[in-house]
Amino acid sequence: MAITYESMMRYPVPEVTQTLDDRDCILYALGVGFGTEPEHPGHLRYVYEDGLEVLPMMANVVAYPGFWLKDPATGVDWQRVLHGEQVFTVHRPIPSGVKLRGRTRIVGIDDKGPTFGAFMFARRDVAVDTTGEAVCTLEQTTLLRGDGGCGGSDARPTPVHRTPRREHDLHRDLAVAPEAALVYRLSGDRNPLHVDPAVAKSAGFDRPILHGMCTMGYAGHAVMAAICDYDGGRIRSMQVRFTAPAYPGETLRTEMWIDDDVVSFRTRALERDVLVLGNGRIELQ
């Protein structure tokens, strides 16, 4: 069943409620590289339940509807789906022990034709379920490589951030654990592309790739370590474009440019010298 602009725009993405507990928050932090320095106070504040804080990058997985594009009712060729861009804005510290509700809707499609595919734009609003108080807002761009020709010419909700032309101001290297994708998927994204070698090969990769939002979490980790003294409360928003897949076991170098309260960044897989994240922007507060 081929998708159409109209069928995708009216697809009812499931609403999700979630009450985070300390296990959820610690598991996410471990999935994006915290805990590799188990006695470092900057790590412990996110992986130890005594005084536990929630990482701002966890906005990406809170009340997340999962890999709903695998539902046959969408008609999407799910094995050829790639995450293109991600933006989140945190309106207040992400709370644990409180029921949150995530509402996701498709807000646009930009069809690039049968050869290239189509970009799908979705927005998720997460709020406290009982009061409606906004917690975070997310925008996701997904490349549907097998579904071009569906129609639509909508603009992306947030323009692409341009990286400064000057030499970067500093960088931070983080090693990705070989089991990182296996850990990160337990925070909600069960796409088999990240765990099943057969699925990865059918999608054109020689082995399972790291989740794009896991790579994004590592970049946020690098900025927190290099600039924020591990204070996640300083990050108000984060925007990134996924330029190439990263793989578990690689070393990720995040290069940063600091302009007042805006940090521009990009991330490179050192062993392959491949840019995996580009056009990154973090707004500090």
Taking only the tens place, the pLDDT of each residue in 103-123 is 999 999 999 999 999 999 999
If asked whether residues 76 and 217 sit together in one domain, one would say: no
Residue pair 269/247 in contact (Cβ under 8 Å)? The answer is: yes
Q: 200 near 193, Cβ under 8 Å?
A: yes
Mean pLDDT, residues 115-139 taken together? 97
Report pLDDT for 118. 96
pLDDT, average across residues 217-225: 98
Between residues 32 and 82, the one the model is more confident about: 32
Mean pLDDT value across residues 119-140: 98
Q: What is the pLDDT of residue 217?
A: 98
259 is catalytic: no
Judged against a pLDDT cut of 60, whether residue 23 lies above it is answered with yes
- Phi and psi dihedrals of 50, rounded to 5? -80, 100
Residue 2, pLDDT score = 79
In the predicted structure, residue 191 carries a pLDDT above the cut 90: no
Q: Are residues 77 and 144 in the same domain?
A: yes
123 and 1 within one domain: yes
Range of the domain at 6: 1-20+62-157
pLDDT at 201 over 60: yes
Residue 14: pLDDT over 60: yes
Q: Are 217 and 96 in the same domain?
A: no
Active-site annotation holder among 43, 83, 161, 194: 194
Q: What is the pLDDT of residue 188?
A: 86
CATH number at residue 93: 3.10.129.10
- How far, in Å, CA of 158 to CA of 140, rounded? 10
How many domains are contained in the chain? 2
Q: What is the pLDDT of residue 67?
A: 85
Q: 168 and 148 in one domain?
A: no
Residues 178, 83 share a domain: no
Residue 272 has what pLDDT? 97
Calculate what percentage of the chain has a pLDDT beyond 90: 92
pLDDT digits over 28-59, tens only? 999 999 999 999 999 999 999 999 999 999 99
133 and 204 together in one domain? no
Select which of 24, 43, 189, 221 is catalytic: 189
pTM of the model: 0.93
Confidence of residue 166 (pLDDT cuts 50, 70, 90): very high
pLDDT of residue 1: 57
The residues facing 268 across adjacent strands are: 253, 275
Give 24's contacts (C-beta < 8 A, 6+ positions apart). 18, 96, 187
Q: What angle do CA 201, 122, 134 make, to 5 degrees?
A: 125
Measure the CA–CA gap between 34 and 190, rounded to whole angstroms.
21
Looking at the DSSP assignment, which residues form a beta bridge with residue 111?
Answer: 118
26 to 54, 187, 192: CA distances (angstroms): 8, 10, 23
In a domain, 196, yes or no: yes
Please state the rounded mean pLDDT for residues 138-165: 95
Give yes or no: residues 121 and 224 share one domain: no
Catalytic, 231? Answer: no
